[in-house]
Structure 1
Amino acid sequence: MTEILRVENLKKSYDGFLAVNDVSFSVAAGELKALIGPNGAGKSTCFNMLMGQLKPTHGRVYFDGKEITGHKPRDIWRRGVGRTFQITGTYQSMTVIENVQMALMSHHRRIFTIGPRAWRLYRDEAMELLKTVAMQDQADRPCSVLAYGDLKRLELAIALCHKPRLLLMDEPTAGMAPTARVELMQLVADIVRDQGVSVLFTEHDMDVVFAHSHHIMVLNRGELIADGNAAEVRNNPQVQEVYLGGGTLFKEDTHA
């Protein structure tokens, strides 16, 4: 498969402490890949280096064959990398569709030229994106009254506004009820399948990870200790030791 993201020997140190230590991996086009690990394993630090929020101490990051190491987040975003965060960041005073329209205005470089008729800009395009995440029936509701799971769906629609080829999702189901978690990740899997978007996501819900991921990577104390399919990761003794101190890591999953 065509490689969309390649990471080579990535390191990040703070006063001698290695938060991420010599991590290398790749993500293929159209792949849904999970990055898991205990709290403090280095997952968010790794994401922040991929997206430009942090500059690596060492190593290189390539997107679509071109180096993006240390580039500014907006430049990386413009190249076609999107991101969602653990905590949603929507405009609570605006409606659902207005939030998506604002993101589209930014994508089309209209954010500083809006006027009193801005509410008309890109409304049809925004509605199509809301249909993608099954939020079209809530288009005119203010974000302040939305359930948390619906805010996560809206955040996904916003992230899709600039038609990313790679989407980084940092704990997309955090804070959601179990049923809503399954529904959101199935939605993400459908987008990967239908639109060919690559997704790299971090997650603590192992049912979500093993039900939907094509491949899984495991970080521990800043080091990558496993990278493979669900069966390979589940049966990896080092991964089992990290999570449970030995024994079977996860129950068998018929989706894997």
Structure 2
Amino acid sequence: MSAILETRGLTKTFGGLTAVDDVSFALQKGELLAMIGPNGAGKSTCFNMLMGQLPPTSGAVYLDGEVITGLGPRQIWRRGVGRTFQITATYASMTVVENVQMALLSHNGEIFRVLPFAHRMHRDRALALLDMVGMAAQADRHCAVLAYGDLKRMELAIALAHDPKLLLMDEPTAGMAPRERLALMELTARIVAEQGVSVLFTEHDMDVVFGHAHRIMVLNRGALIAEGNAAEIRANPLVQDVYLGGGTVFGRAEKTDA
């Protein structure tokens, strides 16, 4: 297997605080990789560097063997990297299918050229994407009336509209009921298997992580402290002490995510 995403010595400091500390890992093609850790471990900071929202203090990020360190979010997106966020951001005044159509228009560079006719463009492809995530029946509903779990599934369809080779999912099940969480990750795992998309996701729900991730890496105080499959992570004494035993970091509760 070859790595779709790789980091080498990725580090981010804010003044005297080291939020991400010399993190190196590789995500293989077609892999579902979970990044876990207590609040304040540096997961979101790491994600923001991968997607270009934050420049690293040192280290490098590679996509398909090409250095993407220093590129902006749009440049990285154009190279085939999609992202979903902890809090969904959609056009509430538009319908579900129109939101996906807008993503397809952006992917094709047509936003400004055909904006007056946007509602007619790429509707069939948008409906196919919504069908993939189980939202085709709600295609013509306005986003403002959707349940939160449905918004999350629509956000996944929007991310897939770019036909990404890599998908970064930051807390994809945040705010969802337990049954909805498992259903969303089952859907994601199916897309990984069927479409060959590689996924890196952060998550606090251990049922989701252990039930679906091919491999898990654990951050603590910005550093990568463990990596392995579900059984190896469960059995790791340091992980048990730091994370699984109550969400504390060496006995001190963390309150904010770096």
Shorter-chain TM band: over 0.9
Indicate whether 1:96 and 2:96 are aligned.
yes
2:218 aligned partner = 218
In the TM superposition, what whole-angstrom CA distance separates every residue of 1:34-67 from its partner, at most 9, and x where no partner exists?
Answer: 0000001000000000000000000000001100
* Cα deviation code 1:146-195 (max 9, x no counterpart): 00000000000000011000000000000000000010000000000000
Q: Provide the rounded CA distance (Å) in 2 between the counterparts of 1:236 and 1:155.
A: 34
Query: Among the aligned pairs, what percent are the same residue?
Result: 70
Tell me, in whole angstroms, the C-alpha distance in 2 between the residues paired with 1:240 and 1:145: 41
For residue 197 of structure 1, what is the aligned residue in structure 2? Answer: 197
Q: How is 1:35-114 mapped onto 2 (pairs within 5 angstroms)?
A: 35-114=35-114
Structure 1 Cα separation of the partners of residues 68 and 14 of structure 2: 22
Shift in Å at residue 244 of structure 1?
A: 4.8
Aligned to 1:172: 172
Number of equivalent positions: 246
Match of 1:5 in 2: 5
1:243 to partner: Cα distance: 2.1
The residue type equivalent to 1:38 in the other structure is: P
Q: Structure 1 residue 202: deviation in Å?
A: 0.1
Q: Output the CA distance in 2 between the equivalents of 1:238 and 1:189.
A: 28
Distance across 2 between alignment mates of 1:90 and 1:224: 33
Aligned residue for 1:249?
Answer: none
Aligned-partner SS, 1:55: coil
Report what 1:250 is aligned to: none
Unpaired segments ≥5 residues, structure 2 = 247-258
Q: What is the rounded CA distance, in whole Å, between the counterparts of 2:219 and 2:178 in structure 1?
A: 24
Tell me how large the CA RMSD over aligned residues is: 1.0
> Quick one: distance in 2 between partners of 1:115 and 1:196?
32
Structure 1 unaligned runs (5+)?
A: 247-256
Q: Deviations over 1:1-44 (max 9, x none)?
A: 12100100000001121000000000000000000000010000
Q: CA deviation at 1:117?
A: 2.4
Task: Look up the match of 2:147.
Answer: 147
**Inter-partner Cα distance in structure 2 for 1:117 and 1:245:** 55
Of structures 1 and 2, the one scoring higher in RCO (CA 8 A, sep 6+) is 2
How many angstroms apart in 2 are the aligned matches of 1:117 and 1:70? Answer: 36
Q: Deviations over 1:218-252 (max 9, x none)?
A: 00000000111111111111101102559xxxxxx
CA distance in 2, matches of 1:226, 1:163: 31
Tell me the SS of whatever aligns to 1:38.
coil
**TM-score using structure 1 length:** 0.95
Give 2:253's aligned residue.
none
TM-score by length of 2: 0.94
Distance 1:108 1:102 in 2: 10
1:127 aligns with 2:127: yes
